[in-house]
Amino acid sequence: MVKFPCTNCGACCTNIHENWAGYERFRDDGWILPNGACKNFNVTTRNCNIYDSRPDVCRVDRMQHIVGFYGSQETWFDYVELCCDDAHLREYSVVRERGVSCNHKPQSK
């Protein structure tokens, strides 16, 4: 299986929105902090504190079927990369560099 090319920017983990699949679970489980970030995301290391046991909604490869996208994995990853680009731009006000680990600092909220 091909692994999703995440750049560890954390934009998806620091801005959980109501229109995201699984939002209710995050909210109901108390994972969303007042600033909209997941409580399990470590801003310093840009890693998830529960990475190995994170829910399917946090796994790009499994999320494909949760949202009902049954095209190819390549097409799904292309779509998610566009979502990542958008989230990164909103979070950091700079264009995401694909294939490069992110080193941008979050904007103050």
Name the β-bridge partners of 42.
47
| Each residue's pLDDT tens digit, 76-100 | 999 999 999 998 998 888 888 888 8
Domain limits of the chain?
A: 11-92
Measured distance CA(106)–CA(43) in Å, rounded: 9
Asked if residues 56 and 63 have their Cβ atoms less than 8 Å apart, the reply is: yes
Asked if residues 28 and 40 have their Cβ atoms less than 8 Å apart, the reply is: no
pLDDT at residue 102 tops 90: no
Asked if residues 107 and 12 have their Cβ atoms less than 8 Å apart, the reply is: no
pLDDT band at residue 108, thresholds of 50, 70 and 90? low
Distance of CA 66 to the CA centre of its chain: 15
E strands present in 1-109:
41-42, 47-48
Q: What is the pLDDT of residue 20?
A: 73
pLDDT band at residue 4, thresholds of 50, 70 and 90? confident
pTM confidence score: 0.79
| Each residue's pLDDT tens digit, 29-72 | 888 988 888 999 998 888 899 999 988 888 888 888 888 887 89
